[in-house]
Amino acid sequence: MERMESEINCDKKENGRLYWVTGLSGAGKTTIGKGIYTALKKQYPNTVIFDGDALRQSFGNDLGYSSEERFACAMRYSRLCRLLIEQGIHVVCCTISMFDSVRRWNRENIENYTEIYIEVPMEVLEMRNQKNLYSEVKSGSTQDVVGIDLKLELPQNPDIHVVNDGQKSVKEVLGEILDQLNIGNF
């Protein structure tokens, strides 16, 4: 029996795309990620956004913040994103992503991977200090903070690299990213 044209088209699905937004705590990953998500959602209703802190809680918050535990956590995020991409879902994932090996794994194992690095100088992050992380490290009340006592392996070849140091508004920085992604405004 011949298959109907609509059945054939249903079997052929396109993979989604992963927008991996990375930078240190306070860099603006989630804010910028939400802007990317809003713009994408207009074109692709099958778009989701993940924030590293929310993902950590969703997975049960069973891992700490040491380098080894952060690596395990990051690989969870990558594998979840790959699963969704393969289902035709576009994913915006906002995470510190301190390991080059995780980003390399993403490039090698996730079709349609786009890496966006948001750079902010440490002195600006310390002034923003949104989660009080940087002041807590200085006072000695916390440890295992990426960029302070845990080394960040800087992205070597991100698809997009922007500086969000306050010289431009977040809207301007987001506009630069959306232009490079060739996505309409939010």
Residues annotated as catalytic (active site), given as ranges? 97
Element holding 94 (H helix, E strand): strand 90-94
Q: Report the C-alpha gap between 37 and 50 in whole angstroms.
A: 10
Spatial contact of 24 and 70, defined as CB atoms under 8 Å apart: no
In a 3-state reduction of DSSP, which class is residue 51? strand
Alpha carbons within 13 A on the beta-carbon side of 151? 4
Q: Which two tokens stand for residue 105?
A: 């794994």
Q: Distance (Å, rounded) from C-alpha 34 to C-alpha 173? A: 13
Nearest to 122 by CA among 3, 25, 2: 25
CA distance 112 to 88: 11
Cα separation values, 73 from 26, 30, 50, 101, 171, Å: 19, 18, 13, 13, 30
